[in-house]
Amino acid sequence: MLVGDSPIDEVLEELSLMYLSNCKVFPWHKAKPFLLTLGSQHKLYDKTVRHPMAMKFPLASAFVKTFIKSWINQVEDCEVLEEVYESFSAALTHIEPQIGYKIYTFDGGSHYHATKETVAMCSKGTTGLRTWQACLALCQWATDNNHIFKHKKVLELGCGVGLLGCVISHLCDKITLTDYHNSVLKAAQHTLDVNSVSNGNVSVLDWSRSCVEDDNLDIVVAADVVFDPTIVPDLVKTIKNKLSSSKDTDGSRVAYICSTVRNKDTYSTFLNEISEQGLTKTEIDSSKLKCIYLFGTDTIKLIKLQLKPPVD
């Protein structure tokens, strides 16, 4: 059986990925063939609501409720699987409907990464308790270019809930996730713990304070950290500091910074600060920033930063 041009199993897998990541715009047009009979609904149910990863890491009940409500609306003229109603009732009684796990994979299911996140844009005075678009793009790019991180020691700035650090931990020798907000640091540590990451740790880092050189790293990464023009100078200063080391005699240290360009002026401020701080910038082809989890029309930029070579 085919759904469009794809085998039924491939479409089921795509629907599964969308559900596990809490996709708000679920492709019901692709799911239609799975809603016609109770047998086909069971296949969809097992790949979404009853997926083993969703059972291990429960999704936010508010999302599950919305998903099942949409499911029921899609099959008004057909019988609905009884288990779907049971799951809907269970979601209604959850005490923390806005908090739950999102589950991602960037390598076709070889590794799943679970992060406990809030549905809210801002929670506990920070935007760091949920995953943003540039992080998803950088996770996919890093996975596709895993050779860059092989045998490397990595430092992440502004780690948020820790998805990027969790993904890169499978690609590198060691990674340190850093942030400043206490709730964010706890969330990042939780992500490392539930995903059994043994080569990563979480540490506090205040960009506004002078940092000593770090001789124990090769690559700096950051995603969605360019959003407030007032912190841009400290951010770039921190990047430059982390790229500086008396042991890095060949200038091989690099930073990969991925940003969603929500405000062009803020991003221009970031680029100007990079130049003023004496860093070289190389922009990665945006066509290489493809990811199944990316939606919308926001522009995402990935740049590679290095120290300018000394003038003889």
Identify the pLDDT of residue 133: 92
Whether 281 and 198 share a structural domain: yes
What one-character DSSP code corresponds to residue 150?
A: T
- What does the pLDDT look like over 203-218, one tens digit per residue? 999 999 866 667 689 9
Q: What is the pTM of this model?
A: 0.90
Identify the pLDDT of residue 289: 87
Q: Looking at the DSSP assignment, which residues form a beta bridge with residue 164? A: none
Whether 64 and 166 share a structural domain: no
- What does the pLDDT look like over 164-196, one tens digit per residue? 999 999 999 999 999 998 989 999 999 999 999
Q: Please give the distance of CA 38 from its chain centroid, rounded to a whole number.
A: 34
Per-residue pLDDT for 68 more than 80?
yes
Identify the pLDDT of residue 125: 45
More confident residue, 279 or 75: 279
> Residue 230: inside a domain, yes or no?
yes
Lowest mean pLDDT among 60-64, 115-119, 273-277: 115-119
Nearest residue to 23 (alpha-carbon basis) of 128, 133, 129, 144: 133
Whether 177 and 249 share a structural domain: yes
Identify the pLDDT of residue 2: 36
Torsion sign over Cα 156, 128, 52, 31: negative
> Residue 312: inside a domain, yes or no?
no
For residues 116 and 170, what is the distance between their CA atoms, to the nearest angstrom? 19
For residues 61 and 87, what is the distance between their CA atoms, to the nearest angstrom? 10
What is the domain range of residue 238? 120-307
- How many domains is the chain built from? 2
> Residue 204: inside a domain, yes or no?
yes
Average pLDDT of every residue of the chain: 88
Tokens representing 285 are 């082809």
H/E stretch holding 309 reads: none
Nearest residue to 27 (alpha-carbon basis) of 48, 46, 7, 43: 48
Identify the pLDDT of residue 167: 98
Whether 17 and 124 share a structural domain: no
Whether 199 and 74 share a structural domain: no
Per-residue pLDDT for 251 more than 80?
no
Identify the pLDDT of residue 307: 93
Whether 79 and 148 share a structural domain: no
For residues 205 and 52, what is the distance between their CA atoms, to the nearest angstrom? 36
- What does the pLDDT look like over 275-305, one tens digit per residue? 999 999 999 998 888 898 987 778 999 999 9
> Residue 106: inside a domain, yes or no?
no
Identify the pLDDT of residue 287: 84
